[in-house]
Structure 1
């Protein structure tokens, strides 16, 4: 209702003004704006179509409002609205001024930033220019150095060429001198030879006569010597034969001399065999715990410790199945009681896949029984050829001299104890095998024979006849594998890490759970392969930077060991059936 009081708002409610004036009346118009003046029509303006009824109604409403009692309130309301509009206009004006100031400050900041960028770019250009100039200077210096080097090389090359030319000239001069000297020497020798030949031709009769005279004198001297020696020898031999005492003394002396030589020869051989059997080990023995006199003199403290050591349990550090442990323990008890009672030892055959503990158990059996052990490898016998039979006799002679009893362990026995009927065995190896059969034909109370083989079906039948006990070693099952994994983990990893004597540490994880997981992954592996796996853990920790063995490092070693085992099994299958060392399923 503000339009009633002369207030007019725009589209946005801004500004106020007086009400629009009424259009002025046209001259000569009465009742309508369309009357013409004369013949010409009245010109039309912008008010020709204006409808004043709205204004009339507004004026009528204004008069009514003025007469109303709310006229003063309406006027106050209009004034308040006008003041509000003025305040809003002032705030907008201030906002505009603030925006202008902010725009001016942003322009100043932009100009400063542009100036800073310009200075930075100029600095960068200066630096680039300086670097380029320095690069050019360096390049010029390097070019100068290269030119100087080229000049030096050229001078050196010229000097070398000059030296080579001088050397060539000197060599040519020397060769020429040698050639001339050689020609002169040849001419001198030829002249001397011609002069000597001429003199010999002129004096040939005289030289021939001198040779005849010398030959006649030499023949006369030899004949006289022979006559004198024959006369003296005949007279002496005749005098010796006619004297009975001299003949008797001579015969007795020759007889005593022959007997002394024969006795000294045999006695020296017997003494040498005796000393060799007690001071040195045979050539076939690779390793032995037997103490010799020479070893006692060289290492007295180690020998004393070995003599004072107590017998150990035969199964200490050895993991076997329960049934095999019981069988091995019975053999160990029987062997120990046999030694105490000085009875005859039984021969044992240990066969099975490689790496199942035959060698370790043989050593443990010797220590448990209080006997000496000696390890012989079958692969060392065949290359000896003709010396194999002699070496075999020396081996058993040495074994028979043991006072404590000797456990003779023959590893890879099938290498030389093969069937004699086959054509692959040589005559020397056949003779060595016959010597072995001869020395083991009867049981002995001096030594115990333990054979180990992966292919026992290749033994000669006579060897099978000399075996009293056969023990089969199979691949470890899950329980034995877990015991092996835990034992080797404790031996090669846990103890060195806890003692702190070596550069080895162990990360924090569940060791028992990890050993159980490894047991599941190592199915089909032998005890030796599991021991090598534990050693690979130790080696991996040593190869790391900090020496810490983590669970991931152990898993990587296990994966590598499993792949190697599978590759070995593939090789074994590719060789075809019939192999004695093919592992049976665990």
Structure 2
């Protein structure tokens, strides 16, 4: 539709090609000699005339122009695309050239570096060769000097030997000459010498015989006079008797005094630690020892001071402490205790505190010291209990690792000496006493002999600390070893980025730790802080130390497990 947009007429051509075609094409073309058909030109001319006369001629021309313009734009777009592709290819070529140049520069740099390194190696090798050459020259010179010194020493030694040989020959010649001269002189004066010796021997014999005769005469007269005097005989007998009695009395008195001093001020060999005064301690610290002897020192009233335990165990131990103090005050028989549980849970600490708050002396011994004594174990145990009875305050005997020598006589294979020691211990502890109190501590109480268990009046189980107890212990030991360490000269530790959250994390990670293990952990924190400038403990070191201790505990548990398995296998083999 062109122009006014009216309906196409039937006689209008549909397109330019249709307009150029003849309306009535000939069914058979005319031919001539040249083969050219002029009717086509005629039909084209007619179509052109019809097109010019048509109303849509101008629109057809515009359409043709528009199509031509569109083709030109497409050609321009293709040229622009080709130009952009050419620009991209040039940029890629430039980038490739830059990469090649960089690689070439890197290769040149590496080559220069290798060349410099090779030159440096050559220079170092040259220096080493020079040093080796100098060293070789020095060693050769030193060898020559040593050889010269050795030759000089050899010459000096040979000279000294030659001089000594000459001196020896001279002395021998001199001695030989003197000997030969004396021999000759003796030969010449032989008769005179023999006569002189005979006279001297005769005179000596006469003198000795005369002295013997005179002495016998004097002794005989004196003895005869002494025997005839009855008073002198009586005085002599009394004097000899008095001297013998004095010697015997002195020896007996010294022995009694020694045993008294040993019982009062000495310490039995089985006792590892005691609060009783010894002679050496009294001499070293006379003032403090006098105060302790007469009870002028400060007495601790809290048996669980510095000990963190669970509530039920804390209540039970406080009742035991009060009961023990009242027992001593009323001079009633003491009750024996058994403290059992894992190591490091506070058994020894409680025993010391119990003795101090009850007004008792304490003595600590370990069961492992009994077996090595052999036959002397019985004697030492009797000495221990005799010494315990001499305590003016009363004595708390703390037996650590008691299962080491108080094992069952029926199931355990113990030696005759251990059996005798066990019997002696049972004999001394079989009767209630107001002079001493026995506190047993063991990790394996099931191994105790039945008679030992019969002597236990109360058993207390110490368990590993729970979460609340660990939290209190960590706070206690941080205060003791980090923030306010004991000693005036001990430096305080500065903590960085360690707050309640970090403490709670440590409380969670220390599950299974005993009180002793937590104490060692705090000491490890202190040591780590002292290893830095200014004694600073930061957050990383804080947790690293905890991890190290956990690994150490796991390793120890593996070792103990393997040791128990080996012991079990050995027991089965036996």
Same fold (TM over 0.5): yes
**How far did residue 237 of structure 1 move?**
4.1
Partner of 1:531: 515
Instruction: Give the Cα–Cα distance (whole angstroms) in 1 for the partners of residues 430 and 95 of structure 2.
Output: 114
**How far did residue 564 of structure 1 move?**
3.0
Instruction: Give the Cα–Cα distance (whole angstroms) in 2 for the partners of residues 126 and 578 of structure 1.
Output: 71
Local SS of the residue matching 1:285: coil
**Matched ranges for 1:438-449 at <5 A:** 443-449=432-438
Partner of 1:66: 52
Partner of 1:26: none
Instruction: Give the Cα–Cα distance (whole angstroms) in 2 for the partners of residues 366 and 232 of structure 1.
Output: 77
- Which of 283, 298, 302 does residue 312 from structure 1 map onto? 302
Instruction: Give the Cα–Cα distance (whole angstroms) in 2 for the partners of residues 120 and 570 of structure 1.
Output: 61
| Alpha carbons 2:335, 2:458 under 8 Å: kept | no
Q: Specify whether residues 385 and 126 from structure 1 end up closer, same or farther in structure 2 by C-alpha distance, changes over 3 A only.
A: closer
* CA deviations over 1:424-483 (Å, ceiling 9, x no partner): 335xx8887787677657544332234456578676x9x759x63354566738xx6556
Local SS of the residue matching 1:469: coil
Q: Specify whether residues 493 and 433 from structure 1 end up closer, same or farther in structure 2 by C-alpha distance, changes over 3 A only.
A: same
* CA deviations over 1:543-582 (Å, ceiling 9, x no partner): 5985545667645644552453354244334434999xxx
Q: Specify whether residues 491 and 187 from structure 1 end up closer, same or farther in structure 2 by C-alpha distance, changes over 3 A only.
A: farther
Local SS of the residue matching 2:206: helix
Partner of 1:468: 455
Q: Specify whether residues 228 and 54 from structure 1 end up closer, same or farther in structure 2 by C-alpha distance, changes over 3 A only.
A: farther
**When the two structures are aligned, how many residues end up with a matched partner?**
526
Q: Specify whether residues 439 and 145 from structure 1 end up closer, same or farther in structure 2 by C-alpha distance, changes over 3 A only.
A: closer
- Which of 349, 362, 365 does residue 351 from structure 2 map onto? 362
Q: Specify whether residues 206 and 504 from structure 1 end up closer, same or farther in structure 2 by C-alpha distance, changes over 3 A only.
A: farther
**How far did residue 373 of structure 1 move?**
0.7
Q: Specify whether residues 293 and 307 from structure 1 end up closer, same or farther in structure 2 by C-alpha distance, changes over 3 A only.
A: farther
**Matched ranges for 1:503-542 at <5 A:** 506=498, 509=501, 515=507, 519=511, 522=512, 530-535=514-519, 537-538=521-522, 541=525, 542=527
Instruction: Give the Cα–Cα distance (whole angstroms) in 2 for the partners of residues 202 and 236 of structure 1.
Output: 53
* CA deviations over 1:159-192 (Å, ceiling 9, x no partner): 3333323333333443444455545555665666
**Matched ranges for 1:559-578 at <5 A:** 560-576=552-568
Partner of 1:12: none
Partner of 1:155: 141
Local SS of the residue matching 1:374: strand
| Alpha carbons 1:4, 1:59 under 8 Å: kept | no
Partner of 1:285: 271
**Matched ranges for 1:90-101 at <5 A:** none
**How far did residue 147 of structure 1 move?**
3.6
| Alpha carbons 2:19, 2:47 under 8 Å: kept | no
Q: Which runs of 5+ in 2 are unaligned?
A: 1-14, 21-29, 486-491
Compare 96-105 and 507-516 and name the one that shifted more. 96-105
**How far did residue 287 of structure 1 move?**
0.9
RMSD after superposition:
5.5
Q: Specify whether residues 420 and 406 from structure 1 end up closer, same or farther in structure 2 by C-alpha distance, changes over 3 A only.
A: same
Q: What is the TM-score of this pair, normalised by structure 1?
A: 0.66
Instruction: Give the Cα–Cα distance (whole angstroms) in 2 for the partners of residues 177 and 494 of structure 1.
Output: 82
**How far did residue 286 of structure 1 move?**
1.6
Q: What is the TM-score of this pair, normalised by structure 2?
A: 0.67
| Alpha carbons 1:314, 1:332 under 8 Å: kept | no
Q: Which runs of 5+ in 1 are unaligned?
A: 7-29, 35-47, 523-528, 580-586
Partner of 1:375: 364
Partner of 2:415: 424
Local SS of the residue matching 1:152: helix
**Matched ranges for 1:7-156 at <5 A:** 31-33=31-33, 56-72=42-58, 74=60, 140=126, 143-156=129-142
Instruction: Give the Cα–Cα distance (whole angstroms) in 2 for the partners of residues 143 and 416 of structure 1.
Output: 73
Q: Specify whether residues 112 and 182 from structure 1 end up closer, same or farther in structure 2 by C-alpha distance, changes over 3 A only.
A: same
* CA deviations over 1:503-527 (Å, ceiling 9, x no partner): 66757757557646754xx4xxxxx
Q: Specify whether residues 4 and 537 from structure 1 end up closer, same or farther in structure 2 by C-alpha distance, changes over 3 A only.
A: farther
